[in-house]
């Protein structure tokens, strides 16, 4: 089976348990086991190839220009880890079926577990470090879900957060390190990087890369000083602890060190950092484990200690060290997972796992006792169990290692650590299973059902099998994986129990006897331990988190004050500053374009524009005046466009100008008409200075551009040359819009439609609840003209309407070959419609409206999209246009282009958007008019909402007399929704009044 | 001609920035309109100034102005209408809800 499929299988199956949980826990577990089993089977099919020294690969290009390829490979190391992950995964799935109760969301558990499993398999089979990083982060996320699985337990949630924070930060550090590494090697493929040992170790970036990568590995594998998160993660259900925190996830860091071992190890830096950290971790964690009463906490610290051991071995940088590390990875996974499951069984059956409460379980739970004892003896390093073999290797390697020319330090520390390790292993058994029968337990302990003990029993069987026949059972795997770690060409000596009386054997004997002695003296030591104050990792972690949070809050509040004028000011200063820097540090090329001559019309427009703009600044406190002046600016800009060879722009600008003015007038209807002067003279002076600086900068920039030719030939030549040939249009601007850059235009009409819908939504919100009442209570602040709908205007606009529509149609049709097109035609038609609203009133027009503007927007986008999709029938990409010439009797030959269909979409979208936007503001005005004129307008208001239109004739009938009061009318006319909203608001207001009393 | 266009863009920019630094919504909307003019004309002018050569193909004519900035600016004008409309609506909504048209948040939220 291909490596990619093996990694994908758990992900593919992840949704299944959550679906099948409806049919029971067993089915959810079975389907998880099925997918895991398939992946394991697929993996093992590749075993012969990999054992023979081969590598199985799948290579899929994903983002090759980033160096990110979905490359998977199975080499010896990947094979070892993937077997552990999937194999132990199967056992855990079975165990969890019996461990979790039917009150737990079991489907979720298996989904998370499969996600985690897929991510883990992804890590160990990735042949690309960027891909590996993605899976790495996925393990952090999925383990967060698993640790926090019991959401009701605060310890679980906090432990999950802590684990995510620590491993997540480590992951970030590792990303940086990996990028450096990939940069040095010139490839992100692991198989490629592994070939560049010399280049990497000679690089000046070797140390930073090493430190950053180790940051990721140490946090993941809980190495000192990042070890504190692992014990807190033990708040997870025991299957999670057994799987993530002993067999798999915490070994990801080790895997990474082993993976990169060929290129990173062998330097003094590697030795002194990795070996020392490993040794310190092994020692400290073992010491802490001795004094833990919670079985799982004891095992957690013991795990940290054993991870330290493996790190220490990898840190040696020798082949013997690599061998010991690989072998201990296998052995630790077997005995520790079995121990965790045994602790889980005790917890499950006795109701507690506190070593001070349970005792004498040997007689009550014989099966569990046997399993736990086998695993614990292996952990203690007793001969004939597998832990003994790898521990011997460790001691042997330690005996020959010098630390800064000191030849006794490392052997002594390693022996002490082994001694502690034996102590806590013995304590686990003697305090838990020996001694007097337990008193006062929450439950009467007994052995669990077969399904629950078979998984740890199988692992215990492996412990003995490897312990007795290491070469036959595990030899092939160890050789294969060690060969991969050291980068090939490795031949392992036979794994055997008896090597003669070696230093390691002596150290081992000291450790075991010392361990027994220390356990005998446990009580006084425990008292001493309990009496000594220790740094509490969780408290320190929480303190740091709180400090970081308050720092973040301080920064946010300092920067994000809610003063928009300040943001804009800072933004302008920055932009001007950066521009100034660029100007000062860059060079300005020579002027290559002659100035265009000036004529009187140009100077006149220029003067007009300048005067109008200056007047806006000077007189903007009078808002109506500012609006008039803005209109002048807009018209001048339109004229300039005509003058400067841009007829399409001129038409667009002038029509947009009209709708914008209507829009602003509608808004000004409500807003104050005067802006009072609030800024101090100093602020005004500063703002003027800043604006002038920005203006000068922009002027200078565009002047420099205008007086220089293009540095490179532009695309325009292509478009001018091919506009007619390829798209059949003479108006190149329109051809660009509907054809060459049709995708952009498609996006733009969509955005415009969304903007209009946003306005609609805002209007809806304002027409509800408190703001609706404010609108009704609103009274105009300027006198109204006497004539609401002037007769002249009314007649003229109604007569003009068909003419305007014909003009719109004409502009639309000619757009492809002459100035015009969908945008402009849409605006012209929108203006024609708006004038109807202005002259005849909102209600009159609305009542005659046949098509809703929402529909126009939607059909615009759809028409454009469908036209574009039509190209598929021609086997062309989306939005490729086609055109031809048609001759109809009685008419000249004319051209028909599919682009016209697209342009129709643009037209519809523009009409709909503009009208919906203006309509929103008009509806607010209607609501306000309701208060102004009393309830008589009720029928019109009912007509405001399209769906209420049908009801309008009904509600136009006689109202009860009290309906004159608008608010009461409102209550009766609208359905329960509005009524409850009002109620809520009333309650709200009452609260406010009450709050104001004291 | 170049001097006129460049200076006009500069004045529009300066006026626009001055206006968006005001403290009420309406001047800010006006300022954004002015800035939109400035930006649109700026983008348009990057095609360089050409007189009487509209990009509409005719027989016998060989030189045209650059059509690409025109196409860009045409949609920009329409989109800036959409943007102005949204901003105006937000300003209006804020005014109706809050009873004033300041753009800056108050120091302390009053009420609950």
> Is pLDDT above 70 for A468?
yes
> Which of chain A's residues have a Cβ under 8 Å away from the Cβ of B75?
737, 744-745, 748, 823
User: How far is A703 from chain B, CA to nearest CA, in Å?
Assistant: 5
Give tens-digit pLDDT for A514-550.
888 888 888 888 888 888 877 777 888 889 989 999 9
Question: Would the CB atoms of B34 and A671 count as touching at under 8 Å?
Answer: no
pLDDT of A981 reads: 58
> Residue A758: which of B18, B55, B86 has the nearest Cβ?
B86
> Residue A706: which of B5, B14, B83 has the nearest Cβ?
B5
> Is pLDDT above 50 for A639?
yes
Question: Would the CB atoms of A652 and B96 count as touching at under 8 Å?
Answer: no
> What percent of chain A is predicted at pLDDT more than 90?
39
> Is pLDDT above 50 for A164?
yes
Paired with A431 in beta bridges are: none
User: How far is A749 from chain B, CA to nearest CA, in Å?
Assistant: 8
Q: pLDDT band at residue A566, thresholds of 50, 70 and 90? A: confident
Angle A104-A109-A110 from CA coordinates, rounded to 5° = 130
Question: Would the CB atoms of A732 and B37 count as touching at under 8 Å?
Answer: no
pLDDT of A330 reads: 92
> Which of chain B's residues have a Cβ under 8 Å away from the Cβ of A560?
none
Give residue for tokens 């025991």. Answer: A238
d(CA A336, CA A327): 14
Is A556's Cβ below 8 Å from some Cβ in B? Answer: no
> Which of chain B's residues have a Cβ under 8 Å away from the Cβ of A617?
15, 18-19
Q: pLDDT band at residue A955, thresholds of 50, 70 and 90? A: very low
> Is pLDDT above 80 for A992?
no
Is residue A670 within 8 Å of residue B96, measured between CB atoms? yes
Mean pLDDT of A640-653: 92
Residue in A with minimal Cα distance to B50: A644
User: How far is B32 from chain A, CA to nearest CA, in Å?
Assistant: 11
Backbone φ and ψ for B85, nearest 5 degrees, come out as: -60, -45
| A285-289, A404-408, A453-457: range with lowest mean pLDDT | A404-408
pLDDT of A962 reads: 36
Q: On the CB side of A517, how many CA atoms lie within 13 Å of its CA?
A: 8
> Which of chain B's residues have a Cβ under 8 Å away from the Cβ of A703?
2-3, 6
Is A774's Cβ below 8 Å from some Cβ in B? Answer: yes
In A736-841, alpha helices (H): 742-766, 769-777, 791-814, 822-840
Mean pLDDT of A780-786: 75
pLDDT of B106 reads: 62
Question: Would the CB atoms of A656 and B56 count as touching at under 8 Å?
Answer: no
pLDDT of A964 reads: 40
d(CA A686, CA B18): 10
Is the C-alpha dihedral spanning A261, A264, A270, A271 positive or negative?
Answer: positive
Contacts of residue A807, defined as CB under 8 A and 6 or more positions apart, other chains included, come to A828
Q: pLDDT band at residue A997, thresholds of 50, 70 and 90? A: very low
Q: pLDDT band at residue A59, thresholds of 50, 70 and 90? A: confident
> Which of chain B's residues have a Cβ under 8 Å away from the Cβ of A559?
none
Q: Say if strands A883-887 and A893-897 run parallel, antiparallel, or are unpaired.
A: antiparallel
Could you give the ipTM of this predicted complex? Answer: 0.94
Contacts of residue B16, defined as CB under 8 A and 6 or more positions apart, other chains included, come to A691, B31, B32, B33, B34, B35, B36, B37, B38
Give tens-digit pLDDT for A417-434.
999 999 999 999 988 888
Give tens-digit pLDDT for A844-896.
888 888 888 989 999 999 998 888 887 777 777 777 777 777 666 666 666 67
> Which of chain A's residues have a Cβ under 8 Å away from the Cβ of B106?
562
State both tokens at A815: 């757009």
pLDDT of A700 reads: 93
A-B contacts at Cβ under 8 angstroms: 319
Give tens-digit pLDDT for A74-128.
999 999 999 999 999 999 999 999 898 888 888 889 999 999 999 999 999 999 9
> Residue A706: which of B25, B48, B80 has the nearest Cβ?
B48
Give tens-digit pLDDT for A573-624.
999 999 999 989 988 888 888 888 888 989 999 999 999 999 999 999 999 9
> Which of chain B's residues have a Cβ under 8 Å away from the Cβ of A918?
85
d(CA A465, CA A461): 6
pTM of this prediction?
0.68
> Is pLDDT above 60 for A30?
yes
Residue in B with minimal Cα distance to A754: B82
pLDDT of A966 reads: 42
> Is pLDDT above 90 for A2?
no
Is A703's Cβ below 8 Å from some Cβ in B? Answer: yes
d(CA A838, CA B9): 34
> Residue A703: which of B2, B27, B78 has the nearest Cβ?
B2
Interface probe for B, chosen from A646, A654, A690, A996 (most Cβ of B below 10 Å), is A646
Question: Would the CB atoms of B81 and A656 count as touching at under 8 Å?
Answer: yes
Q: pLDDT band at residue B111, thresholds of 50, 70 and 90? A: very low
Give tens-digit pLDDT for B14-31.
999 999 998 888 999 999
């Amino acid at each position: 089976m291909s490596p990619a499929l093996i990694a994908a299988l758990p992900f593919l199956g992840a949704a299944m348990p959550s679906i099948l949980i409806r049919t029971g826990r067993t089915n959810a577990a079975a389907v998880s086991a099925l997918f895991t089993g398939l992946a394991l089977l697929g993996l093992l099919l590749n075993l012969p190839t990999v054992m023979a020294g081969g590598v199985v690969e799948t290579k899929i290009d994903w983002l090759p220009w980033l160096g990110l390829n979905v490359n998977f490979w199975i080499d010896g190391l990947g094979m070892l880890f993937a077997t552990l992950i999937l194999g132990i995964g199967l056992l855990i799935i079975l165990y969890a079926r019996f461990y979790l109760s039917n009150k737990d969301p079991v489907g979720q558990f298996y989904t998370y577990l499969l996600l985690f499993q897929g991510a883990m398999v992804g890590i160990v089979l990735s042949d690309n470090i960027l891909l590996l990083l993605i899976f790495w982060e996925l393990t952090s996320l999925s383990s967060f879900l698993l640790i926090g699985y019991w959401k009701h337990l605060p310890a679980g949630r906090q432990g999950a957060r802590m684990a995510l924070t620590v491993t997540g930060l480590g992951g970030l550090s590792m990303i940086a390190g990996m990028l450096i590494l990939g940069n040095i090697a010139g490839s992100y493929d692991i198989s490629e990087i592994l070939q560049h040992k010399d280049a990497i170790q000679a690089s000046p970036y070797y140390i930073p890369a090493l430190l950053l990568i180790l940051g990721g590995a140490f946090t993941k594998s809980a190495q000192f000083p990042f070890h504190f998160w692992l014990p807190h993660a033990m708040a997870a259900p025991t299957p999670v602890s057994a799987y993530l925190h002993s067999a798999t996830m915490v070994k990801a860091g080790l895997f990474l060190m082993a993976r990169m071992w060929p290129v990173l190890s062998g330097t003094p830096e590697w030795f002194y950092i990795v070996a020392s950290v490993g040794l310190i971790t092994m020692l400290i964690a073992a010491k802490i484990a001795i004094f833990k009463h919670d079985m799982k906490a004891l095992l957690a610290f013991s795990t940290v200690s054993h991870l330290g051991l493996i790190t220490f071995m990898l840190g040696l940088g020798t082949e013997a060290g690599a061998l010991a590390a690989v072998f201990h990875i296998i052995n630790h996974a077997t005995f520790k997972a079995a121990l965790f499951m045994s602790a889980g069984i005790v917890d499950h059956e006795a109701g507690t796992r506190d070593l001070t409460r349970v005792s004498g379980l040997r007689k009550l739970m014989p099966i569990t006792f046997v399993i736990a004892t086998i695993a614990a003896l292996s952990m203690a390093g007793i001969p004939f169990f597998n832990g003994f073999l790898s521990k011997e290797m460790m001691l042997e390697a330690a005996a020959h290692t010098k630390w800064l020319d000191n030849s006794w330090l490392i052997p002594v520390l390693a022996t002490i650590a082994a001694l502690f390790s034996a102590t806590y292993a013995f304590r686990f058994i003697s305090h838990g299973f020996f001694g007097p029968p337990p008193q006062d337990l929450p439950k009467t302990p007994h052995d669990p059902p077969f399904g629950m003990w078979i998984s740890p029993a199988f692992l215990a069987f492996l412990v003995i099998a490897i312990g007795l026949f290491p070469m036959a059972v595990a030899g092939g795997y160890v050789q294969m994986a060690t060969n991969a770690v050291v980068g090939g060409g490795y031949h392992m000596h036979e794994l055997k129990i008896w090597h003669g009386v070696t230093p390691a054997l002596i150290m081992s004997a000291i450790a075991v006897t010392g361990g027994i002695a220390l356990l005998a003296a446990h009580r006084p030591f425990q008292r001493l331990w309990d009496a000594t104050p220790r740094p509490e990792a969780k408290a320190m972690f929480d303190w740091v988190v709180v400090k970081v949070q308050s720092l973040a809050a301080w920064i946010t509040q300092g920067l994000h004050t809610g003063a928009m004028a300040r943001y804009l000011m800072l933004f302008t200063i920055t932009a001007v500053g950066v521009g100034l820097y660029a100007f000062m540090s860059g060079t300005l090329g020579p002027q290559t374009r002659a100035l265009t001559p000036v004529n009187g019309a140009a100077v006149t427009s220029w003067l007009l524009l300048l005067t109008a703009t200056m007047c806006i600044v000077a007189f903007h406190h009078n808002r109506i005046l500012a609006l008039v002046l803005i209109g002048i600016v807009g018209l001048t800009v339109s004229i300039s466009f005509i003058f400067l060879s841009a007829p399409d722009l001129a038409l667009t600008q002038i029509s947009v100008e009209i709708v914008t003015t209507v829009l602003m007038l509608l808004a000004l209807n409500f807003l104050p008409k005067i802006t009072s002067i609030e800024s101090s003279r100093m602020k005004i002076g500063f703002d003027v200075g800043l604006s002038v600086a920005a203006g000068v900068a922009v002027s200078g920039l565009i002047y420099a551009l205008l007086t220089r030719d293009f540095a490179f030939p532009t695309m325009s030549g292509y478009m001018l040359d091919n506009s007619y040939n390829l798209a059949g249009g003479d108006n190149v601007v329109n051809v660009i819009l509907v054809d060459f850059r049709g995708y952009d235009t498609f996006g733009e009409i969509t955005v415009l439609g969304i903007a209009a819908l946003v306005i609609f939504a805002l209007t809806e919100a304002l027409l509800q609840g408190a703001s609706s009442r404010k609108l009704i209570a609103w009274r105009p602040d300027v006198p109204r003209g006497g004539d609401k709908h002037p007769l002249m205007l009314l007649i003229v606009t109604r007569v003009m309407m068909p003419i305007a529509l014909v003009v719109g149609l004409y502009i639309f049709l000619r757009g492809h070959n002459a100035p015009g097109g969908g945008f402009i035609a849409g605006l012209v038609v929108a203006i024609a419609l708006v004038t109807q609203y202005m002259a005849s009133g909102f209600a009159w027009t609305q009542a005659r409206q046949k098509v809703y503007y929402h529909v126009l927007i939607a059909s615009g986008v759809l028409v454009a999209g469908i036209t574009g999709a039509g190209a598929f029938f021609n086997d062309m990409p989306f939005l490729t246009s086609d055109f031809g010439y048609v001759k109809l009797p009685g008419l000249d030959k004319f051209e028909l282009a599919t682009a016209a269909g697209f342009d129709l979409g643009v037209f519809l979208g523009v009409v709909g958007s503009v009208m919906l936007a203006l309509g929103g503001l008009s509806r607010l005005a209607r609501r306000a008019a309701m208060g102004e004129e009393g309830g008589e307008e009720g029928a019109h208001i009912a007509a405001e909402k399209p769906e209420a239109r049908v009801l309008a004739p009904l509600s136009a009938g006689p109202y009860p007399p009290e309906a004159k009061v608008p608010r009461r009318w409102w209550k009766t006319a609208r359905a329960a929704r509005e009524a409850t909203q009002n109620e809520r608001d009333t309650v709200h207001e009452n609260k406010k009044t009450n709050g104001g009393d004291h | 001609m170049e001097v006129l266009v460049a200076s006009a863009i500069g004045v529009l920019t300066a006026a626009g920035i001055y206006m968006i630094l005001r403290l009420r919504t309406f001047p800010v909307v006006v300022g954004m309109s002015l800035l939109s003019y400035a930006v649109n004309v700026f983008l348009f002018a990057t095609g360089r100034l050409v007189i009487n050569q509209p990009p509409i193909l005719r027989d016998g004519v060989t030189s045209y102005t650059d059509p690409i900035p025109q196409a860009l600016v045409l949609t920009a004008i329409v989109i800036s209408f959409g943007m102005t409309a949204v901003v105006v609506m937000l300003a209006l909504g804020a005014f109706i809800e809050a009873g004033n048209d300041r753009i800056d948040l108050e120091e302390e939220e009053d009420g609950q």
